[in-house]
Copies of this chain bind each other. A is one copy, B any other.
Amino acid sequence: MSKGEVIVVGLGPGSADTVTPQAGAALRRATDVVGYGPYLARVPAVEGQTRHGSDNRVELERARHALELAQSGKTVAVVSSGDAGVFAMASTVFEALEGARGKDYGDVDVSVVPGISAMLAAAARTGAPLGHDFCVISLSDNLKPWTRIVQRLEAAASADFVIALYNPTSKERPTQLNKAFDIIRKHRDPITPVIFATAVTRPDEKIETVPLKDANSVEADMRTIVIIGSSATRMIERDGRSAYVYTPRYDMESVR
């Protein structure tokens, strides 16, 4: 029996032209593909390849299934949207690998193929808001306490980082994004640009930029990345089109 392996593959934000050749090669080489249904649907068909779709709420189960398949000699691609290493399946696969030290996943090789993350795609579509020091925070408190999220928002806002928020809202967590805006408003100018980038690069892409004073969670859903500018972030207005948003390389205070 050949030695199996797991390759965790980032599919990019959605459009096929953001999938790297390295990711494409891994997907063609796989005997089995494991992932959340809508992500599997993005993987081009390969003859003889087996698909294992699952619901979005069973990450650890999915990771264990992939490791078991690899243990039986399969070459298993585990697919994530965006970059697999940013709030996605790569961590879960390593968690399953470590948690199962008692079992024998020992000779299963795990590798990760990076992808264009949602925040990089969102930033590119609006200009260069992540052009200087930034923090990336998941607002989901499914697996960490809300007090920890508040601590990180306070730290990021007070040290004038640009802030990118993943998992900003869901049906179960409708109030947290507005609480986050309230925390950030204590530290930032009311006209600081806030970007709501939803379904970036997909047919239903929607991008809105509003001043922090008007930022409201109704603009966001589960597929939204929210980017809040630092004190240095600037807008360049355009005729008849949305403004560019960018954060310069220089620090405003060192220039004034």
Question: CA–CA, A249 to B144, complex, Å?
Answer: 8
Output the least CB separation between A91 and chain B (Å): 3
Contact A94 B156 (CB under 8 A): no
Contact B114 A236 (CB under 8 A): no
Given B94, B159, B254, which contacts A236 in the complex, CB threshold below 8 Å? B94
Number of copies: 2
* Shortest Cβ distance from A129 into B: residue: B85
Contact A128 B90 (CB under 8 A): yes
A144-B254, A152-B159, A246-B90 known; A17 and B20 CB under 8 Å? Answer: yes
Question: CA–CA, A144 to B232, complex, Å?
Answer: 11
Question: What would 6 A/B residue contacts be, using CB atoms closer than 8 Å?
Answer: A18-B22, A93-B128, A133-B136, A133-B138, A145-B253, A155-B156
Measured between beta carbons, the chain B residues less than 8 angstroms from A131 are 85-88, 90-91, 94
List residues of chain A with CB under 8 Å of any chain B CB: 8, 10, 12, 15-22, 25, 59, 83-88, 90-95, 97-98, 110-117, 120-121, 123-125, 127-138, 143-145, 148, 151-152, 154-156, 158-161, 234, 236, 244, 246-251, 253-254
Output the least CB separation between A77 and chain B (Å): 14
List of 6 A-B pairs having minimum Cβ-Cβ separation, nearest first: A91-B131, A144-B251, A155-B159, A90-B128, A94-B246, A143-B250
